[in-house]
Structures are given as C-alpha cells and as structure tokens.
A and B are shown apart, each in its own frame.
Chain A
Amino acid sequence: MTRGKAKEFVGHAVEAAAEDFSSVVEAHRPQIFRFLLASTRDVDLAETLTQECFLKAYRNWERFRGESSAMTWLMRIAINLEKDHWRNRRIQFWRHTRTNSVDMDEASEWLPSGERSVEQQMLAREQVGRVWKAVTGLSERQRTVFLLRYVEDLELSEIAQATGLNEGTVKAHLSRALGKVRGELRGKR
C-alpha cells in the first residue's frame, strides 16, 4: 500500500468512526441528559455533565469494544462524572456554594395531563412529589440504581454493567430504595 492510499484509508476510517459516534450521540444524548437531570435536579449541571460525558466518550471511542451496549458504556461514564463532580464539590466547598437544584415540588409539577381528571392529576402530582422526597433521601448508589431501573427501564444486568456492581448488590440497593419509597408513600397516606 502506498503512503497516499494508506492516508486515504485512515481518513475513511476516521470519518466512519466519527459518523458512528455522531449517530450514538443522536440516539443516546436525551437519555443521558434525562438520567443526569433526575440525579441532580439541576438543569445546567445536567447539561454540562452530558456534554462532558460525550466529550469523554468521543476521546475514548476507539477503545470502546462493544462488550456492553453503547448506552451502558455512556451511562457508566455519566455516573462516574457525576461522582467526580460531587467529590470535587465536597473538597472545594468554598466554590459555588450556591446550588441550582430544582425544588422537589417544582420537579413534580411535570406530569403529562393525559385523559385524567383534575383530581387524579393532583393526586398523581402529590405521589410523584413523595417519590422525589424519598429519592432525595437515598444514598448516591441507591438513587442511581433506582433511577436506572424505574426511570430508564434498564435491566438488572445493564445496571450492574453501568454501575460496576454485581447483580446481587444492585438488587439489594434496589430493594432498599424501593423500601424507602414505599415507606414514604405509606407514611403520608
């Protein structure tokens, strides 16, 4: 192969990889953003972390071997970025002391009306508010596992891959999280 042809080949490969990556971004960006938004309840932070997640993914795209799905791989990056963010925030507590997290009541306002009556909508909104309250009281791991399962509909095996935990641990975290949500619903009824 001549040098010119080799260059052309590499160029094509890079183009193909970029095209692959852009389709991955298009397919999974909303989901990653949604998970980060639910985790942080901070729109700006969720946007920033989503951008960082895809930047990191782009830099490491060549190393992605397809052992897990692209979604799980991206979710793992997002979870790690979120963890890093909170860790840095704990260390640099003098910076950005203000938090932009949306209030739980405000978060529970978002509910599609559907065909329900006003009363049913109010009840649903109240229940969603209670779930938010319970979610806020969960540990970081429990919250992650809970959101991946009940908001992103991931299977236990996928959650295990995304979080780096084994399935048994995922189940245990999920059970505890669910217990707290159940307790919140039971307590306020």
Chain B
Amino acid sequence: MRFLDQRPEENALLEQTLANFKRSVHAWSEAEYSRPHEAARVYRHTNWRLAAGLALGCVLAAGSVAGGVYERHYRQELAKIAAAARAAKQQKLAAFKSASQTGDEDLLAKVDSDVSREVPSAMEPLAQLMAEGDAK
C-alpha cells in the first residue's frame, strides 16, 4: 500500500519504522513460540488456589450461617425459659393474692359476729320493759 502523503522523507521514515515494527513483532513471537511452555503448571497452581479459595469461602459461609442459626435457637430457648419463669411467678403471685384475700374476709366476718354477740341491740331495754308491762 502506498502512503498517500506529500513528504517523501516522512514516507521513507514511516516505511522504515513499519518494517522495524514488523521485524520486532516477528522476533518476539518466534522467541515466545519456541520457548518451553509451563502453562500446565501455572494453570494447576491457579486451579489449586481457586479450589482452596472456594473451599474457604464455603466453610466461612457455612460457619456464619450455622452460627446465626445457633444464636437464634439459643435466644429462642432463653426467651422460652424467661417466659416460663415469668408465668410461674405470676401464678404464684395470683395464688398468694387470692389466699390473702379469703383470709381477710373470714377474719372480718368473725369479728362482726363476735361484736354483734357482745353489744346489745339498741332497742333491747325498751323491748324488755314492754314485756314486763304486759306481764303485769
């Protein structure tokens, strides 16, 4: 392909540079092509690393999930125990309350009856006089 430029000096330089570029690429490619290859070892290394990374990632993920599940379960158990303790306490309190209430009521009734027995009725002396007058 001809270089469509007016300056012949520049064209000569471009042509020479492109020729050098071509020789350079050819030399590099030949050197790399005939070089002994160690690609398999590199790939195995990469695969090993990849596998180890994956395994570690899986272990970490499984660990964090298991930890989360265990923590949740533990908290649920604690909440259950606390709820049971609370319920028992409430029950006890209610029983105590009801027991003390009935005790008070009995005592009041007893006092009432005792007092009523000891103190005469307000109209009792008049009733007695009336009974004596009738007898006369």
Contact = CB atoms under 8 A, between A and B. Distances in A.
B33 interface: yes
B5 A150 contact: no
Interface in A144-189: 149-151, 153, 156, 174-175, 178, 181-182, 185-186
Contacts of A185: 10, 13-14, 17
Interface in A37-68: 37-38, 43-44, 46-48
Contact of A128 (B4, B20, B29): B20
Given A110-B31, A127-B17, A38 B25 contact: yes
Nearest to B32: A43
Contacts of A153: 22
B27 interface: yes
Given A111-B24, A128-B17, A34 B10 contact: no
- SS of A interface (majority): helix
A43 B21 CA distance: 18
Given A33-B29, A33-B33, A150-B18, A110 B1 contact: no
Given A30-B33, A38-B29, A44-B42, A151 B14 contact: no
A130 interface: yes
Contacts of A111: 20, 23-24, 27
- SS of B interface (majority): helix
B14 A182 contact: yes
B20 A124 contact: yes
Interface string A82-109: 0000000000000000000000000110
Given A111-B23, A127-B20, A182-B10, A47 B29 contact: no
B27 A130 contact: no
Contacts of B37: 47
A146 to B, nearest CB: 9
Contact of A130 (B5, B17, B30): B17
A78 interface: no
A79 interface: no
Given A46-B32, A48-B39, A185-B17, 6 more contacts: A111-B24, A128-B17, A130-B17, A151-B21, A175-B4, A181-B18
12 contacts: A44-B42, A47-B39, A108-B24, A124-B20, A128-B17, A130-B17, A131-B18, A151-B26, A174-B1, A178-B14, A185-B10, A185-B17
